[in-house]
Structure 1
Amino acid sequence: MFERFTASARQVVREAVAHAELAGRGSVGEGELLLALLDRTGSPGADVLTALGLRERRASVEAALHRAHRRGGISASDAEALAGLGIDVEEIVARVEREHGAGALAAAGAPGPKEKRRGRLRRPYFTPEAKSVVERSLRVALGRGDKYIGDEHLLIALLGRPGLAASVLAEHGVQQADVLRVLAERQAEAG
């Protein structure tokens, strides 16, 4: 499958791993894939994110991902839904952090002793959700009639089902339909 990846899509995967390593996480999730997409320039996925105004709001997207990671992966919309049931996620996080230290819920993705090999840390692994995004990108490409998998397919796949990245993008006013619309506009301009 990776032989179908464009250079840009491969770079997104590499940069997602780098984001996870930089954050000291043992895993690459949807958030790292989204940040890597936001770091791209001059590619179809990057052009879509620019057209939708997300590049200017990268810091806000990154902050939303950080808050969700601190909450153990619970997005703002999930926290809001739980608040409607009388569950204050921020209070729970504060209690856990008072008892176990700052970032205790976020530490779930940090490398553990089993992830060390001969004194070196293993490269971060892809979470099931991130693997699913990569797999869905192939189905997206095939569904669009493309013989390659580009970063635009990864972006569509991130928004293709509920998840952390889709929730954060929705908080910033971006849905899958918006991405598809901009891609269609770009294709019409080029064709």
Structure 2
Amino acid sequence: MFERFTRSARAVVTGAGEHAERAGADTVDAGHLLLALLDLQGSRGSFALAALGADRRREEIAEALADARRRGGLTQADTEALAGLGVDVDEIVARVEETHGAGVLAGAGTGRGRKGIGSWFGHRPFGREAKDTLVRALRIATERRQRTIGDEHILLALTTRPGIVAEVLGDRGVTREALDRVLT
């Protein structure tokens, strides 16, 4: 599949690995893919993000992703649902961090990464959500009868997979529908 990636899509994959490495994450996740997309310039995906104003909100997006990681991957909707049941997620996170250290729920491990499927010489392997995103990008390109997978397909895939990244993007007006309008 990787041979079908455009130069910009390959840059996203490489950049996501670099973001995971800098963060000390054991695996690359969908949030790392989004951060790498926000780093790009001059591509279809970067054009779409700029058209929807997300490029100007990069720090805000990075902070929202970091907050979700700190909550152990719970979306804001999950946190609100638990609050409705009387569960204070922030209090639980604070207690866990008090006992085990700051950021313990963020999933950062040794920073060395495991070898195995999805890893290559010294790089972080891709986690399930990142792999699923890339498979979705392939499906989107195929549905559009396009031979290559571009960074715009990765961006579209990030908006269709329920979870933190889609929520963070959606809260900032970057939805599948908005991207379809901008990219067509």
| Bigger proportion of residues as strand | 1
- SS in structure 1 opposite 2:160? coil
Give, in whole Å, the separation in 2 of the partners of 1:146 and 1:82. Answer: 42
- SS in structure 2 opposite 1:135? helix
Can you list the C-alpha shifts for 1:7-35, whole angstroms capped at 9, x where unaligned?
00000000000000011111100100000
Structure 1 residues without counterparts, runs of 5 or longer: 185-191
Give, in whole Å, the separation in 1 of the partners of 2:11 and 2:85. Answer: 42
Give, in whole Å, the separation in 1 of the partners of 2:124 and 2:36. Answer: 15
What amino acid maps onto 1:105 in structure 2? Answer: L
What amino acid maps onto 1:33 in structure 2? Answer: L
**How far has the Cα of 1:97 moved from its partner?**
0.6
Q: Kindly report which structure 2 residues correspond to 1:12-27, keeping only aligned pairs within 5 A, or say none.
A: 12-27=12-27
Q: Kindly report which structure 2 residues correspond to 1:29-48, keeping only aligned pairs within 5 A, or say none.
A: 29-48=29-48
**How far has the Cα of 1:113 moved from its partner?**
7.8
Q: Kindly report which structure 2 residues correspond to 1:1-191, keeping only aligned pairs within 5 A, or say none.
A: 1-106=1-106, 108-111=107-110, 115=114, 122-184=122-184
**How far has the Cα of 1:180 moved from its partner?**
0.7
Structure 2 residues without counterparts, runs of 5 or longer: 116-120
Is the CA contact (8 Å cut-off) linking 1:26 and 1:123 kept in structure 2?
no
**How far has the Cα of 1:114 moved from its partner?**
8.2
Is the CA contact (8 Å cut-off) linking 2:113 and 2:125 kept in structure 1?
no
Is the CA contact (8 Å cut-off) linking 1:9 and 1:151 kept in structure 2?
yes
% identical aligned pairs: 53
Aligned pair count? 179
- In structure 2, do the counterparts of structure 1 residues 90 and 40 end up closer, same or farther at CA, with 3 Å as the change threshold? same
Can you list the C-alpha shifts for 1:79-103, whole angstroms capped at 9, x where unaligned?
1222122111111100101111111
* Misfit runs of 4+, over 2 Å: 111-116
2:118 corresponds in structure 1 to none
What amino acid maps onto 2:16 in structure 1? Answer: A
- In structure 2, do the counterparts of structure 1 residues 76 and 134 end up closer, same or farther at CA, with 3 Å as the change threshold? same
Is the CA contact (8 Å cut-off) linking 1:137 and 1:154 kept in structure 2?
yes
Per the normalisation by structure 2, the TM-score is 0.92
Give, in whole Å, the separation in 2 of the partners of 1:100 and 1:37. Answer: 33
**How far has the Cα of 1:72 moved from its partner?**
0.9
Give, in whole Å, the separation in 2 of the partners of 1:179 and 1:36. Answer: 17
Give, in whole Å, the separation in 1 of the partners of 2:112 and 2:38. Answer: 32
1:189 corresponds in structure 2 to none
- SS in structure 1 opposite 2:42? coil
Cα root mean square deviation, aligned: 1.7
**How far has the Cα of 1:112 moved from its partner?**
6.8
**How far has the Cα of 1:104 moved from its partner?**
1.3
Is the CA contact (8 Å cut-off) linking 1:27 and 1:127 kept in structure 2?
yes
Give, in whole Å, the separation in 2 of the partners of 1:163 and 1:95. Answer: 24
